[in-house]
Structure 1
Amino acid sequence: MTAALVLACAVLGLLVGSFLNVVVHRVPAGESVVSPPSACPRCGHRLRVRDNVPVLSWLVLRGRCRDCRAPISARYPLLEAGTAALLALTALELGPVPALPAFLYLACVAVALTAIDLEHHRLPDRIVLPSYVVGAVLLVGAAALQQDWWSLGRAAVGLAALWLLYFGLAVAKPGGMGFGDVKLAGLLGMHLGYLGWAPLVVGAFAAFLVGGLVGVALLATRRAGRTSAIPFGPFMLLGAALGVVVGPELAQGYLHLVGLG
């Protein structure tokens, strides 16, 4: 069952990844993600169906447009393969639980936001805000199936706690933390809180830890200065992933260390 689920999620990730390429390209520009159909930006020819197969088409075409031979960025197959891997790993970690669709959706959102934030230093409301609604509906459905209303209450606390934390940081140091980060924090808090207190706390802490370590490394290698703008969204998303994967184990280890476990 688990192997079939992981494979199905990987295939789903390839298909969704192809659409996310459109999202990453068009949303920052304020364009529609449904029309017009995808076309080569150089010659304007619409992509044929056989040229729109995730990863495989790019390999067959050797990274070039069929019509004008303009290069096609390797970002496209990498994002498709990355989405497939992330959805497969999400299914492998959580298994066939009612909340899995909510976290698969969050994983897709994470891919799009990471790509956009790295390139444009933005976390678009067009992606983040609707994700609150989708995530809430999926988590409410999962809680109803399991009659687990405590997890839903924890999700609400997690949403409020991380939103308030990041809002306080944004107000305390204007320019240091963007309000896009504040909005994303609430979304991540909702999902992490649903899983438990340990994923919530570890996920929140890990974002600052990883972000700090990367910042120090960039300064040490002179790839960034003290005033350089470094997008924090990817670190928030990576921290949330760590909270899901190792949160309970790290929390239990800490409790044992201080003699409370």
Structure 2
Amino acid sequence: MFYIILMYMFVFIIGICIGSFLNVCIYRIPREESIAYPPSHCTSCGHRLGVKDLVPIFSYLFLKKRCRYCSDEISSRYALIELAVGIIFLLISLKYGFSLETLKYTTLMSIMFVIALIDLETMEVYFKITFFGAVCGVIFLVIEGVTKGYSLNNYLYYLLGAVFPALIITVIILLTKGMGWGDVEIIFVSGLFLGFKLSFLMIFISFIIGAVISIFLLWSKRKGRKDPIPFGPFIALGTFFAILMGDSIINLYISHYINMI
């Protein structure tokens, strides 16, 4: 038991460390900056950060929310993102154990996290991120195919999971123009990881979450009827719920349907 607890703690630590890197991606990609160079530095004074300044979450707390070099306040967003990614990694590992599925889905959610927050801030979806996500999806599909002995039908299951939902969003865009073409890219990437059944559930959950939040924003007058609302965060949330609860929801629906018959 102690060994298992240590393993889950390790997964959480890996998650917050990945979250620290995702912070860099979220900040730099919209600014067309390299995510590798220059090294991490204070965005206020430009001073290069040392190792003791870069410990996820703890540096933020120990430095009392201020830069060690210029005393400018550090946004709490960075620590919250690190914590959120750590929790996401932990929940996925609790669901799938220490397996290839955990690696696959934590990779997917890392990509979706970056896409969602950039979309939320800028209303932009960057092709370089979705392309990277699609490449990762293909790599995992090949690895699973080799390790699990996939047939052609298995590969088609995941490819259709990417293509069909993307086509649905394409039709919605052509008919209503209520969504953006970047949403097609995000749906494609998510579906490539999730497969046919979970990808449709992901869309369904995304629209429900989107509708609820949009109604709340309109009701609270934080958004007007003509104000655009990014859909990327809703897809990310739908993907997360599909990963954690998708199989249970589908099985519950099927059992309920059978009982009705």
TM-score (norm 2): 0.92
Counterpart code for 1:169: I
Larger deviation, residues 65-74 vs 139-148: 139-148
CA distance, structure 2, for counterparts of residue 117 and residue 171 of structure 1: 21
Alignment of 1:77-96 (within 5 A): 77-96=79-98
- Could you tell me which residue of structure 2 aligns to residue 255 of structure 1? 254
- Could you tell me which residue of structure 2 aligns to residue 27 of structure 1? 29
CA distance, structure 2, for counterparts of residue 4 and residue 203 of structure 1: 32
Tell me, yes or no, if the aligned pair for 2:210 and 2:234 is still in contact at 8 Å.
Answer: yes
Q: RMSD of the TM alignment (CA)?
A: 1.8
Tell me, yes or no, if the aligned pair for 1:210 and 1:235 is still in contact at 8 Å.
Answer: yes
Alignment of 1:208-219 (within 5 A): 208-219=207-218
Identify unmatched segments of 5+ residues in structure 2: none
Q: 1:151 to 1:245 in 2, by over 3 A?
A: farther
- Could you tell me which residue of structure 1 aligns to residue 200 of structure 2? 201
CA distance, structure 2, for counterparts of residue 2 and residue 202 of structure 1: 31
Tell me, yes or no, if the aligned pair for 2:183 and 2:231 is still in contact at 8 Å.
Answer: yes
Alignment of 1:1-261 (within 5 A): 3-149=5-151, 150-174=153-177, 176-193=178-195, 197=197, 199-259=198-258
Tell me, yes or no, if the aligned pair for 2:16 and 2:82 is still in contact at 8 Å.
Answer: yes
Cα deviation code 1:164-201 (max 9, x no counterpart): 11111122223x211111100101111121xx62x222
Tell me, yes or no, if the aligned pair for 1:6 and 1:89 is still in contact at 8 Å.
Answer: no
Tell me, yes or no, if the aligned pair for 2:15 and 2:86 is still in contact at 8 Å.
Answer: yes
Counterpart code for 2:99: V
Offset, 1:154: 0.9
Identify unmatched segments of 5+ residues in structure 1: none
CA distance, structure 2, for counterparts of residue 8 and residue 79 of structure 1: 18
Counterpart code for 1:155: Y
Task: Provide the identity percentage.
Answer: 31
CA distance, structure 1, for counterparts of residue 5 and residue 170 of structure 2: 41
Paired residues in the alignment total 257
Offset, 1:7: 2.5
Tell me, yes or no, if the aligned pair for 2:165 and 2:200 is still in contact at 8 Å.
Answer: no
Offset, 1:214: 1.0
Larger deviation, residues 21-30 vs 135-144: 135-144
TM-score (norm 1): 0.92
